[in-house]
């Protein structure tokens, strides 16, 4: 399944200076056929967006649109397969039997025609079951729990938001200890600090951000120029985060 760490970092490097979050994104309906049961579903697909999405406040959780948008999480109205929009057509055929077994016990809160009539948190709960069958790694789950925490907060459930963020933090700490993990350590320190900040541990967050500033960005498969740009972008991001934490209005006070 897709990983957005590098893509988001590259985009963020280009748009760090942007601060206006008033720009709009657009969606339009499209028909999809469920790979599990052949059911026809109408889902929303992206119509337009701009690089301004990387300047929105969710950047402080290293979380970017469209993961912050309810439209992103598809749900079949027959078998209740729930996935990211970009995965719905990409389900491996050899995974279908296991998915059918998992979905057999899944129920939703009401009958629906439009998938986003079902609350986003309900769809995410089904997704959590679905992706245990698919090929996901610690990076994937790290982002999933950060995203889940974001949506729990949006719905006013701070206890569950904190629980999801603690899961993300635990995975980040695991990745930091794993020398074989391919995610740049500098980025992991940033994510660790971000989760600590949103869990109200500002001292721990600041310690992680200082570690990140002193850690070189290294990523196999990226050119020297790409790594240099990523280093510059993350350092700007880290310095901004430190400044914001020390201010009266902290990033966790302006979640979006």
Residue-level length of the chain: 256
Contact indicator for 1, 87 with CB cutoff of 8 Å? yes
The structure tokens listed for 151 are: 């949506």
Distances (CA, A) of 195 to 17, 236, 243: 23, 18, 17
Three-state DSSP class for 8?
helix
Three-state DSSP class for 202?
helix
Per DSSP, what are the bridge partners of residue 84? 73
Chain segment 166-194, per-residue pLDDT in tens: 999 999 999 999 999 999 999 999 999 99
Residues with pLDDT less than 50, the chain: 2, 4, 7, 10-21, 256
Q: Report the alpha-carbon distance of residue 139 to residue 150 in Å, rounded.
A: 17
| pTM strictly above 0.85 | yes
Alpha helix segments (H runs only) across 115-223: 120-130, 138-154, 158-177, 185-198, 202-213
């Amino acid at each position: 399944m897709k990983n957005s760490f590098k893509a988001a970092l590259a985009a963020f490097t280009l748009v760090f200076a942007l601060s206006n979050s008033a720009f709009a994104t657009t969606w339009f309906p499209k028909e999809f056929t469920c790979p599990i049961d052949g059911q026809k579903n109408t889902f929303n697909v992206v119509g337009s967006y701009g690089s301004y999405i990387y300047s929105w406040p969710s950047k402080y959780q290293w979380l970017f649109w469209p993961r912050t948008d309810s439209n992103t999480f598809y749900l079949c109205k027959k078998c209740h397969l729930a996935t990211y929009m970009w995965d719905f057509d990409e389900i491996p055929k050899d995974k279908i039997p296991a998915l059918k077994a998992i979905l057999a016990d899944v129920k939703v809160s009401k009958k629906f025609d439009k998938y986003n009539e079902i609350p986003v948190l309900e769809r995410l709960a089904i997704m959590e079951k679905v992706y245990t069958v698919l090929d996901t790694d610690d990076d994937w789950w790290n982002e999933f729990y950060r995203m889940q925490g974001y949506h729990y907060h949006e719905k006013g459930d701070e206890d569950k938001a904190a629980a999801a963020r603690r899961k993300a933090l635990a995975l980040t700490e695991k990745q930091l200890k794993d020398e074989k993990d391919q995610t740049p350590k500098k980025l992991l320190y940033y994510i660790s600090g971000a989760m600590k900040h949103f869990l109200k541990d500002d001292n721990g967050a600041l310690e992680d951000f200082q570690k990140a500033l002193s850690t070189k960005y290294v990523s196999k498969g990226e050119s020297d120029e790409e790594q240099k740009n990523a280093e510059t972008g993350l350092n700007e991001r880290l310095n901004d985060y430190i400044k914001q934490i020390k201010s009266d209005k902290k990033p966790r006070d302006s979640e979006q």
